[in-house]
Structure 1
Amino acid sequence: MENDNLLFSRLRSARSTKRTVRKDIIKQIRKKYKRSEELWSIKINIPWIPLENPYQRGFIRFFVVREDVMRSKDGELFEGILKKINTSMFSDSRQFLKKKRKFGKRIYVEKEQKLKRVSSWSWNDPKFGLTVQERQYFLKYEEYCPYRKCNEVYYEFIEPWRFILRVRPHMITHYKPIDFELEKEYAELESYVKHHKIAGIVQKTIYGKSNSWRTKKEDLHLIKSRRYIACRMSATEIAESFMDDIGPTII
């Protein structure tokens, strides 16, 4: 009888077994995720090797500060702004054309290139480096995002005429050697880690929460929020309700 009780005490319940299996799976996921991060760090730190014979591969178009603006007293100010919001575009030809259908015919039109928008996250990020004087040339906008299904705040430069587009040949002067074994291992790990179920476990167990893209909404009106829909009593109403409970004061 004592041997039977000892045997049953050593047997694990189904719930305990399931918990152990889940811990082992999470441990393996964390291990593979950490390895993928190490391989990514190795990839980006591979040094570039200069080419003996550089060659041209298409053209690149980007913004530069106008000469008259650069000669003014605020030339350095707008040059610093441009470094943060500049964009580049590549094309096989110097014209930067794209196909467009008009009246049933395909025609070529010039590609539109705009300055970069500043997100609300970058606006408040000290590493982005926008000074108080530079922020005076930006205007705040709000636009509905169909993917996140909410309004997103961004900041746009209000004087784009101070910059002009310039085209130059895109020269290839360096190359980065490829480690095929590293690329194969990294591709296998990324295919595993990027699976929607695995990615959810990684986000929840490593970073401590899910849906990290749900950033805190800026300038949220508490009365219009559903969380505070039942909390519309003002301070005066709350004070009056307390006075009614206490009753009249007798001196």
Structure 2
Amino acid sequence: MENDNLLFSRLRSVRSRKRTIRKDVEKQIRTKYKRSRELWKIRRDLPLIPLDKPYQKGFVRFFVVRDDVKQSKDGDFFEGILKKINTYMYSDNRKFLKKNRKFGRKIYVEREQKLRYITSFSWNYPKWELIDRERQYFEKKDDYCPVRKIFGTYYKFTEPWRFTLRVKPNMITHYKPLDLELEKEYAALDSYLGQYKVIGIMHKTILCKSNPWKEKYQRELIKSRKYAACTMSATEIAESLQDV
């Protein structure tokens, strides 16, 4: 009898076994995610090696302070602002053109280049070190971000006329060495962590972020007429029950 009780006490339930499997999977994902971040930092910090013969690869376009503004007493001040909001665009030629369709025909138009917007996070981030005088030249604006594909709050520079575009050859003077073993390991981890189910577990346990697809579905469900009709009918049913 005692042996039977000991045997049953050692047997684990189905729920306990599933919990153990889930924890083991989460532990494995957490370990691989940590290793992936370490490899990413190693790849980023690889030292650049100078080339024996630098070569030109297209052209680069960026903003510079206008000559009249640079010669004024606030020249250094606006150069400091430009370092924080400057953007760079690359092209194979000096014209910086792109294809655009107009009246069914493809034509070439000039690529538009703007100064960088400062996000609300960067606005309060100490690394930017924006002084009070620099903040006076920015205005708060709600605009669409094509990269993140969402509407957000940004801070835009109010006097872009103080800067002008300049084009110069894009010279390649250094290169980053390639470690095959490092790249192979990083690619394998990136492929594993990019799976659909693994991404969901990472968002829930490691990154502590909600599922964006679920939030989008809930927002669309609330806005839909069918959901509103069901809500109204449920309210009417509750009122009728109260009357009874």
Question: For this structure pair, what is the TM-score category when the shorter chain's length is used for normalisation?
Answer: 0.7 to 0.9
- SS in structure 2 opposite 1:46? coil
Task: Extract structure 1 runs of 4+ deviating beyond 4 A.
Answer: 144-151
Pairs within 5 Å for 1:192-207: 192-207=192-207
Structure-2 change in CA distance of 1:172 and 1:114 (3 Å) = same
Task: State the Cα distance separating 1:182 from its structure 2 match.
Answer: 1.1
Letter in 2 for 1:10: R
Matched positions, count:
212
| Distance (whole Å) between structure 2 residues aligned to residue 146 and residue 67 of structure 1 | 33
1:74 aligns with 2:53: no
| Distance (whole Å) between structure 1 residues aligned to residue 167 and residue 144 of structure 2 | 34
* 1:158-202 C-alpha deviation (Å, 9 max, x unpaired): 100000000000000001111112111101101111223222322
Aligned to 1:130: 130
Structure 2, unmatched stretches of 5+, are 213-244
- SS in structure 2 opposite 1:58? strand
Q: Percent identity?
A: 66
| Distance (whole Å) between structure 2 residues aligned to residue 115 and residue 131 of structure 1 | 19
Q: Give yes or no for contact 1:48–1:174 (8 Å, CA) kept in 2.
A: yes
| Distance (whole Å) between structure 2 residues aligned to residue 109 and residue 194 of structure 1 | 37
| Distance (whole Å) between structure 1 residues aligned to residue 70 and residue 35 of structure 2 | 48
Q: Give yes or no for contact 1:117–1:155 (8 Å, CA) kept in 2.
A: yes
| Distance (whole Å) between structure 2 residues aligned to residue 150 and residue 113 of structure 1 | 20
Q: Give yes or no for contact 1:59–1:167 (8 Å, CA) kept in 2.
A: yes
Structure 1, unmatched stretches of 5+, are 214-251
| Distance (whole Å) between structure 1 residues aligned to residue 116 and residue 149 of structure 2 | 22
Structure-2 change in CA distance of 1:130 and 1:199 (3 Å) = same
- SS in structure 1 opposite 2:18? helix
Task: State the Cα distance separating 1:107 from its structure 2 match.
Answer: 1.5
Q: Give yes or no for contact 1:87–1:114 (8 Å, CA) kept in 2.
A: yes
Structure-2 change in CA distance of 1:156 and 1:146 (3 Å) = closer
Task: State the Cα distance separating 1:212 from its structure 2 match.
Answer: 9.2
Task: State the Cα distance separating 1:147 from its structure 2 match.
Answer: 9.7
Task: State the Cα distance separating 1:203 from its structure 2 match.
Answer: 3.1
Pairs within 5 Å for 1:22-101: 22-101=22-101
- SS in structure 2 opposite 1:129? coil
With the length of structure 2 as denominator, give the TM-score of the two structures. Answer: 0.81
Aligned to 2:191: 191
| Distance (whole Å) between structure 1 residues aligned to residue 144 and residue 171 of structure 2 | 39
Aligned to 1:20: 20
Structure-2 change in CA distance of 1:160 and 1:149 (3 Å) = closer
With the length of structure 1 as denominator, give the TM-score of the two structures. Answer: 0.79
| Distance (whole Å) between structure 1 residues aligned to residue 211 and residue 16 of structure 2 | 31
Pairs within 5 Å for 1:86-235: 86-143=86-143, 151-207=151-207, 209-211=208-210
Letter in 2 for 1:99: K
Cα RMSD of the aligned pairs, angstroms, is 2.0
Q: Give yes or no for contact 1:200–1:210 (8 Å, CA) kept in 2.
A: no
Aligned to 2:241: none
Structure-2 change in CA distance of 1:212 and 1:129 (3 Å) = farther
Q: Give yes or no for contact 1:61–1:168 (8 Å, CA) kept in 2.
A: yes
